[in-house]
Amino acid sequence: MSTLPTGSLEQRDARSVIHGLTNLKAHAERGAMVIERGHGVWVTDNHGKDYIEAMSGLWCIALGYGNERLANVASKQMRELAYYPLTNHKSHPRVIELAEKLKSLAPVPMSHVWFASTGSEANDCAARLAWYYWHAVGQPAKKKFIAHQLAYHGNTIATASLSGVSYAHERFNLPLPGFLHVAPPHYSRHALPGESEDEFCDRLIGDIEQLIEREGAHTIAAFFTEPVMVAGGIVVPPRAYFEKLHKLLFLNNILLIADEVVTGFGRIGEMFGTGAMQLKPDMMVCAKALSNAYIPISAVMMNTRVYEAIARQSDEMGVLGLTMTYSGHPVACAVALETLAIYEEMDIAARVRKLETPFLGGLNRLLEHPLVGEVRGKGLLAGVELMNNAESRQHFDPALKVGPRCAQIAEQHGLIVRAIGDTIAFCPPLIISEAEIEEMLARFKRALDDTARQLNLIRP
């Protein structure tokens, strides 16, 4: 039975709102943390308690809360041109400017840009455009997709199928046929005893090669990958992995699609993770920090090879049969342009590289804590994996839910993080200061201590 105060926001929420990635039955009893306002890296709930938002909301609010420039740009654009579609040869200035700007920022040459509203939609469109491309070049049998186990690419029917997480599949009749998954490039977790990083990469690439041979390269349309696996537990692939993957995909004429929904716009110390990890994709997908999450917008950039083929086919058919009401929305484009201008003024990637040392260095100092087994990360993106015994790499029984317990205790200390199993994820706004990083680390240390006491790993 719910004990939420009658008429409270928490009770009203529990009675009316469906929440994703949430135990709905438990939510009806526990209720929501109701956030009313935010400024910078801080948010405040409806009871007046302040928190450091160390997850940038949902990996997205890179410039933090309360940015007046973005609010003013949105207001101005709403008064000038609140909406206009891109169908039937129509356009508007902001979408043209944004497409040109994204092309100029891309770390590899890109030809044209397709716009959507969310990362899920953009990845879904990338998959559809891959199918369309292979029809255009006379290879319609290339229909299958490969992605990593534990990867997250969205929650449409197609992108949930691409995602390698069971919660997106079970009881949803997913994944659809033709969506294939391979082992994640997580060296510390999946390397064999005595196996070097190069040997590990060779083994994984060998497994992908065998998969391609079994399925037939003539049936595989594209490989989707994140430069750094985010929802899979902040996994930074060994450098050799992508180099070897490129060669394999090239030899088998398979498209590479880079999911930059989280890693784009400075998050890991380069403007795009594609540049940081030396990827050479045929398409790049971005969203989230593109508008600092102030308004939904996403984009799919494609190279000349892909664009020219789909353009030719649209001429043959008379139309490109892909459209979305809010594709290239003027207000979203205006906010995104201003967001990109702020990133350039701040030299955001250089700022992230500077903050990487106090951020990751501070988290690595916590390896002395009895709960902390491993710290993984790049730039201002990190995962702290909790273990029962770090020396023997003994993991906790999943039934204990140590990670979620630690994240909930962190909230009691005024810190919002995310538990991915027993990995605690950090993705703070890129405007965070060194002093705020220190405060974030101090609050997390207190949460670790309280969690360890509950588990009897340290004495009171």
Residue 389, pLDDT score: 87
Instruction: Read off the CATH number of the domain in which 290 is found.
Output: 3.40.640.10
Residues 336 and 369 in one domain: no
Residues of the domain holding 162: 69-346
The pLDDT of 13-20, averaged and rounded, is 95
Instruction: Read off the CATH number of the domain in which 390 is found.
Output: 3.90.1150.10
Q: How confident is the model at residue 375 (pLDDT cuts 50, 70, 90)?
A: very high
Q: Is the pLDDT of residue 168 over 90?
A: yes
Residues 388 and 359 in one domain: yes
Q: Residues of the chain with pLDDT > 70: what percent?
A: 99
The pLDDT of 223-251, averaged and rounded, is 97
Residues 218 and 342 in one domain: yes
Q: Is the pLDDT of residue 458 over 80?
A: no
Q: Residues of the chain with pLDDT > 90: what percent?
A: 97
Residues 59 and 74 in one domain: no
- Residue ranges of alpha helices (H) inside 137-262 are 157-162, 187-190, 197-215, 239-251
Residues 355 and 239 in one domain: no
Select from 289, 324, 346 the last residue of a domain. Answer: 346
Taking the C-alpha atoms of residue 57 and residue 347, their distance in angstroms, rounded to an integer, is: 22
Q: How confident is the model at residue 1 (pLDDT cuts 50, 70, 90)?
A: low
**3-state secondary structure at position 190:** helix
Give 4's contacts (C-beta < 8 A, 6+ positions apart): 10, 11, 14, 29, 31
Q: Give the angle subtended at the CA of 63 by the CAs of 61 and 64, to the nearest 5°.
A: 65
| Mean pLDDT value across the chain | 96
Residue 390, pLDDT score: 80
Residues 208 and 236 in one domain: yes
Residues 440 and 311 in one domain: no
pLDDT tens across 90-145, in order?
A: 999 999 999 999 999 999 999 999 999 999 999 999 999 999 999 999 999 999 99
Position 24 in a domain: no
The pLDDT of 436-441, averaged and rounded, is 98
Q: How confident is the model at residue 392 (pLDDT cuts 50, 70, 90)?
A: confident
